[in-house]
């Protein structure tokens, strides 16, 4: 695995370092503060990696019977990007506790360039809300179209698999504050959905 470094600026104009981890089929670009500590294999970066993007080509092995990428592959990409984002923010192992609102808006075609973007939008004491968006475009086209979006919730754990506190995330732009409000709205709706689910399963336990 190669690590490439370069300079960039984030959307809110804070100086950042763009760090790309390139593997055989996946490249992840991380946004980190430019004045942060140097990265090493063992250096913790808790509270600094707030978002990342995977970029790769949709491969023939991901095809469904209709000739497009099957939904299971897209969900796998979402899970991988969401986990990498949450673990990077927490600086420790994390578990998925909720995935909500996955909607497949348009298909991803084999050979398209796929972008899976994950970002921290809200934190609790031990939890992190991560918004994940999948986009795709032809390799010769300009501008990717959103194909899938969802919100995930992760909880940080220590080596004994006990929940532990995570660094607090404070939105710094209007868009980030809107995303945090969106996550709170989804959290409130999630409680209603969970209540309906428990009621149904209690009546039909089989």
Is 186 part of any domain?
no
Specify whether the CB–CB gap between 42 and 34 falls below 8 A: no
- Give the residues across from 56 on adjacent strands: 114
Question: Alpha-carbon distance 69 to 60, whole Å?
Answer: 8
Mean pLDDT of 82-100: 95
Structure confidence at residue 48 (pLDDT): 84
- CATH number for the domain harbouring residue 93: 3.10.129.10
d(Cα 199, Cα 16) in Å, to the nearest integer? Answer: 48
Structural domain contains residue 126:
yes
Looking at the domain assignment, is residue 157 inside a domain? yes
- Asked, for residue 61, whether it belongs to a domain, the answer is yes
53-67: average pLDDT: 94
pLDDT for residue 30 is more than 50 = no
Does a structural domain hold residue 107?
yes
Give the predicted TM-score (pTM) of the model: 0.77
> Would 60 be classed as within a structural domain?
yes
pLDDT confidence of residue 15: 32
pLDDT at 36: 41
Count of structural domains within the chain: 1
Distance CA 45, CA 180 (A): 22
**Within a domain: 202:** no
User: Could you tell me if residue 6 is inside a domain?
Assistant: yes
Q: What is the pLDDT of residue 45?
A: 67
Sequence-distant (6+) residues with CB within 8 A of 163 are 126, 155, 156, 157
Query: Residue 82: which region, alpha, beta or left (left: phi > 0; alpha: psi -120 to 50)?
Result: alpha
- Asked whether residue 179 carries a pLDDT value surpassing 80, the answer given is yes
Domain containing residue 56 = 2-170
- Whose tokens are 């607090």? That residue is 168
Question: What whole-number distance in Å separates Cα of residue 177 and Cα of residue 183?
Answer: 10
């Amino acid at each position: 695995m190669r690590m490439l470094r370069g300079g960039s600026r984030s959307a809110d104009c804070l100086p950042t370092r763009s760090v790309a981890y390139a593997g055989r089929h996946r490249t992840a670009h991380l946004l980190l503060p430019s004045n942060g500590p140097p990265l090493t294999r063992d250096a913790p970066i808790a509270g600094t990696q707030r978002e990342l993007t995977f970029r790769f080509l949709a491969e023939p092995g991901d095809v469904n019977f209709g000739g497009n990428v099957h939904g299971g592959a897209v969900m796998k990409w979402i899970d991988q990007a969401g986990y990498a984002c949450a673990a990077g923010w927490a600086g420790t192992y994390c578990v998925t506790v909720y995935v909500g609102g996955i909607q497949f808006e348009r298909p991803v075609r084999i050979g398209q360039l796929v972008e899976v973007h994950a970002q921290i939008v809200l934190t609790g004491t031990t939890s992190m809300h991560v918004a994940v968006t999948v986009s795709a475009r032809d390799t010769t086209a300009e501008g990717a179209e959103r194909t899938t979006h969802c919100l995930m919730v992760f909880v940080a754990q220590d080596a004994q698999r006990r929940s532990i506190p995570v660094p607090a995330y404070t939105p710094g732009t209007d868009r980030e504050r809107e995303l945090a409000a969106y996550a709170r709205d989804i959290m409130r709706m999630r409680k209603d959905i969970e209540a309906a689910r428990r009621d149904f399963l209690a009546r039909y336990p089989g």
